[in-house]
Amino acid sequence: MKVIIKKDYEELSLEAAIFVKQKILEKPNLVLGLATGSTPLGTYQKLIEMHQKEGLDFSGITTFNLDEYVGLAASHPQSYHYYMWENLFNHINTKKENVFIPKGAVKDLKEYCHFYENQIKKRGGIDLQILGIGRDGHIGFNEPGSAFNSRTRVISLDPVTVQDNSRFFNSISEVPRKALTMGLATIMEAREILFLANGEHKAEIVARALEGSITTKVPASILQKHPCVTVILDQEAAMQITI
Ligand code: F6R
């Protein structure tokens, strides 16, 4: 595990964007796994700038998002579909047919999860997966207790996650209680992981995930077993690690 500590969120975002850019330059048909939430927003902004100012070309890449709320249509402003188009895809030249985001409003969710897994396989698997971490240690929406061999499925959100994500909704009662998420085994199959965390509120869970025991109580701790992880933290999120 390679750990890089940057001064602040701005520098973290730039470092992460340069990392992704390098991978795209090395492999123009990169299969890139994406996360939503606050953490990667700065990285996406930097990637947009690299596209607009330097002509970084996204036309060959395929993307797979980690998760989506169950019951929210793609047009819902709090859906992860909406987030991804608003914060990245509308501003770069990724081909629409190469963008995969789990659909949370389909009738047969179980069948859809199989379909999603198959699409990842058909595209040759994920080359680089970007991850954030929840305060309860989740990656994707794999909440504490998620099995290490879990695959894409429906999951009930932990009260901590519902509370944390309520900041994006008008009230906590509007936050969906279920989500579709890639599983921990799906994430671990990515050939490379880019793990990002910023802010003091992430310091404790980052230390438990990266240096604590590997346990389903802290789903992100499974990343200690992945052969190719790069961690980029800001100083605040790195406060409790000893690496
Ligand atoms: C979102 C996702 C989640 C977030 C995590 C941290 O697609 O996979 O695991 O990365 O909840 O969220 P933020 O970045 O908002 O703190």
Question: Residue 25: is its pLDDT beyond 80?
Answer: yes
Under 8 Å between Cβ of 112 and 103: yes
Place of tokens 């969710």: 109
pLDDT of residue 199: 98
**Tens digit of each residue's pLDDT (9 = 90 or more) over 29-64:** 999 999 999 999 999 999 999 999 999 999 999 999
Q: Please tell me if the CB atom of residue 66 comes closer than 6 angstroms to any atom of ligand 1.
A: yes
pTM summary value? 0.97
Q: How far is the CA of 63 from the centre of ligand 1 (A)?
A: 17
Question: Residue 149: is its pLDDT beyond 80?
Answer: yes
Give the number of other CB atoms < 10 A from CB of residue 96: 7
Structure tokens at 143: 């909440």
Q: Please tell me if the CB atom of residue 201 comes closer than 6 angstroms to any atom of ligand 1.
A: no
Q: How far is the CA of 79 from the centre of ligand 1 (A)?
A: 13
**Tens digit of each residue's pLDDT (9 = 90 or more) over 70-129:** 999 999 999 999 999 999 999 999 999 999 999 999 999 999 999 999 999 999 999 999
Catalytic residues: 67, 136, 138, 143
Structure tokens at 46: 């930097």
Task: Give start and end residues of each alpha helix (H) in the chain.
Answer: 9-26, 41-54, 80-87, 109-122, 159-165, 184-188, 203-211
Question: Residue 240: is its pLDDT beyond 90?
Answer: yes
Structure tokens at 18: 């340069």
Write the DSSP assignment of 150-185 as a string of letters: --SEEEEPPHHHHHHHGGGSSSGGGS-SEEEE--HH
DSSP one-letter code for 216: T
**Tens digit of each residue's pLDDT (9 = 90 or more) over 10-22:** 999 999 999 999 9
pLDDT of residue 243: 72
